[in-house]
Structure 1
Amino acid sequence: MTNINATVPLSVLPRSGEKVSRLGFGAMGLSGMFGSQDDDYMVRSILMSLEKGINFIDTARAYGRSEELVGKAIKQWRGDKPFIATKAEAMAGGGGRKHPGAAWHEPHRVEEAFPPGSIRASLEKSLQELQLECVDLLQLHKYWPIWDRTDYWMEELLRLKEEGKTRFVGISAIDHRHDLTLSLIRSGHIDFLQALFNIFDSTALDAVIPECQEHDVAFIARIILDEGGLTGFLRQDTVFNEGDFRRSYFDVLPRETYMSKVDALRSYVPEHAGSLAELAIRFALQDPGVTVAITSMQVHEYAEQNIAASQQPPLANQVYEELCYQHRWIRNFYHARRYL
């Protein structure tokens, strides 16, 4: 693994014993979904994060040119190879494709999302873009338990692992529906589970994270800053550019509602954290059952701040408990854009 700065917190992967940085580089931002930067700037953001001790990168086929940019950065990197995770592109409801009943919030047949051979084809394309012969982790970019009625997709994942094209396999759970993966966690087939986890939605602590610990499944927390909302940046007059993912994310309900929920967290700053972003990152890293917490770090200034936040000590237990149970706020991301 990479030459790790001793001050960056580390996790031990339960099934291999290797060490990875607890804060991971989420590469969705390299797609331009949160605003665009030029290629050189984004490659430098990866290299800067690696230099500061981050050695876990999470990308996906559905993230535009993200894999290509990660591949360029890895070629330039002179340290030990970081841990590279990617996700297979779904044929329905993923990668920008429109398909009736195929959105993340609506169950659909696995044959529609991942037809036979599609997982292999997606990984082959990922390997080409990343300029690698093997990824460390291949995840399905969605999962519904009704898929367990047939097992060709799991056989395909495990075959790719046997062939040495991926070291580990896992699932990226659908938004708040991570409890749907419990049977899969207990099956022993997957090595990693990725799920939404932040101050507003800490429900993974109730069952999923303990089950992952019980069954030696590494847990990847995503959206730990709630797509930036937990940093407090959102204002009533904030305007998102065309193509920015957040245009629909924050406006599925009145903005003042969201902003009021964030304002309720400001009382913890600066007594318990230097900023709202620091509070959110420390929250995400508090429980030892969180193996890695990923967040977009394509903006250099934010990457430095996030890494510095990860180096801070744990929150006081009382503060953590308050955040867990007094600030939970589960919302429907889809009611305003169901048919978009």
Structure 2
Amino acid sequence: MHTALFPRTGDRVSRLGFGAMGFAGWFGAQSEADHIRALHYALDRGINFIDTARAYGESEMILGRGLKQWRGPKPFVATKVEGLAGGPQWSTSVPVALSLPKGQVTASCEASLRALGTDAIDLLQLHAYWPGWGHEGDWMDELRALKAAGKVRAIGISVPDHRSDMALPLVMSGTIDAVQTVINIFDPQALENLVPCCQQHGVGVIARCILDEGGLTGFLTLDTEFDSGDFRKGYFDDTVPRAVYLAKVDALKQYVPQQASSLAALALKFALHHPGVTVGLSSMHEQRYAMMNIAAAAEPPLRPEIYKALMFKHRFIKAFMDVRNFADLDTIPEPDATTA
């Protein structure tokens, strides 16, 4: 398993990270035992970076139980602060006082510590951050206090949608240790500005959606149906016409198997190609996903000319984090100088 240095903590972390959002059941129902089996399989094979969130249902609790049963080296665990503004905070800028009122960062962290069954979180991220929040405020004071108290080792933010450049001022302020953002073949924008900026400022980069919620694996067809609790129904059907998406995926098949063993391997290798990407997250809530991802990460890297072709010829940037998927218009607050 290839590793990278996590800036500012000195940890060596696996470049392929275990995404635990699937433990929430949002990709369909699996048992807790199956989740823990997948976790241990990945840990046994060298994956030592795990990402979860307070908002991911029972994910932190399942992860905590799984790690309690684990007898190997302690992995690097990242989680995220739960914002209180509901759907709008994912789809549009909201006042920080609505999402993170005073005390919320601390309360969320304490709840995460209990659920995970640990005394310290390696990386605590804001699950949503909007640039209008600046880089100072109660939320930052609380992050610093948690770090000073030893309850958190590193602090960061997650960019809520595809507009990765919104994190640039915060990165340049020197106040955070890591940024999580979308990076995949269809949306490589972060590789042009955010990732180089993070390299210059010693900030870790956590790439998410590297398989575009599974779309880049080729599993999707015109006839694929999703369970009612599976959020991908909105992702693939409400954002763009499914036939349009499938045509974009079909254009990638020219690279398989010459450049990668599968579409999924091609997407994973692309997301990890840039040395400024510290970790690339992939959902591994089922052991078969862990097996496929680990095998893909072991393949030879993409040739430079293939990486450039993927980077510039196959962009298909979508705004999934849209009001139609995450919030009713009535729930979006009006501009208010007292809460801005």
Partner of 1:247: 233
How much does 1:149 deviate?
7.5
SS for the counterpart of 1:210 is helix
Shift of 1:151: 1.4
Which residue is 2:256 aligned to?
269
Q: Does 1:299 align with 2:286?
A: yes
Residues in 2 aligned to 1:28 and 1:146: alpha-carbon distance in whole angstroms: 27
1:133 lines up with 2:126 in the alignment: no
The alignment of Structure 1 onto Structure 2 pairs a total of residues equal to 326
| 3-state secondary structure, aligned to 1:123 | helix
Q: Does 1:332 align with 2:325?
A: no
Match of 1:209 in 2: 195
Q: CA deviation at 1:85?
A: 0.2
Q: Distance in 2 between matches of 1:249 and 1:322?
A: 26
For 1:331, the aligned partner's letter is K
SS of 1:104's partner is helix
Q: Distance in 1 between matches of 2:201 and 2:53?
A: 25
- CA gap of 1:338–1:66, structure 2 versus 1, over 3 A, is closer
Q: Which moved more, 1:175-184 or 1:130-139?
A: 175-184
Structure 1 residues 335 and 88: alpha-carbon distance in aligned structure 2, compared to 1, 3 A threshold: closer
Aligned mates of 2:181, 2:232 — CA distance in 1: 19
Q: What one-letter code is carried by the residue in structure 2 that aligns with 1:337?
A: N
Superposition map of 1:158-177 within 5 A = 158-177=144-163
Alpha-carbon distance in structure 1 between the residues aligned to 2:158 and 2:149: 22
**1:152-197 residue CA offsets vs partner (Å, 9 max, x unmatched):** 1111111110011100000001211211111110111100100000
2:4 counterpart letter in structure 1 = S
Q: Which residue of 1 aligns with 2:23?
A: 30
Alpha-carbon distance in 2 for matches of 1:105, 1:122: 21
- Give the structure-2-normalised TM-score: 0.94
Q: How far apart, in 2, do the equivalents of 1:304 and 1:164 lie?
A: 35
Shift of 1:284: 0.7
Q: Which moved more, 1:147-156 or 1:47-56?
A: 147-156
CA contact (8 A) 2:135 2:175 kept: no
2:256/2:263 contact within 8 Å kept = yes
Instruction: Report the counterpart of residue 39 of structure 2 in structure 1.
Output: 46
CA distance in structure 2 between the partners assigned to 1:241 and 1:336 by the alignment: 19
Distance 1:338 1:297, change over 3 A: closer
**Contiguous gaps of at least 5 residues in structure 2:** 329-340
Task: Specify the SS of the correspondent of 2:90.
Answer: coil
Q: Which amino acid aligns with 1:196?
A: V
Q: 2:60 aligns with which of 59, 63, 67?
A: 67
- The residue identity in structure 2 corresponding to 1:304 is M
Residue segments in structure 1 that go unaligned for 5+ positions in a row: 1-7
The residue identity in structure 2 corresponding to 1:266 is K
1:233 maps to 2:219: yes
Structure 2 CA distance for aligned equivalents of residues 232 and 304 of structure 1: 17
Tell me the TM-score normalised to structure 1 length. Answer: 0.94
Could you tell me how far 1:339 is from its partner in structure 2? Answer: 4.6
Mapped partners of 1:272, 1:155: distance in 2: 47
Post-superposition offset of 1:105: 2.2
Which structure 2 residues correspond to residues 53-92 of structure 1 after superposition, within 5 A? 53-92=46-85
2:266 is aligned to 279
For the residue of structure 2 that corresponds to 1:265, the secondary structure is helix
Post-superposition Cα deviations, 1:244-278, rounded to whole Å, max 9, x if no partner, equal 01011111221100000000000000111110000
State the 4+ residue runs in structure 1 displaced beyond 6 angstroms.
none
Deviation per CA, 1:113-132: give whole Å up to 9, x if none: 00100010001110110000
Letter in structure 1 aligned against 2:186? F
Quote how far apart the aligned CAs of 1:332 are: 2.4
Quick one: structure 1 residues 63 and 321, their matched pair in 2 at CA, closer, same or farther if it must change by over 3 Å?
same
Distance 1:62 1:133 in 2: 20
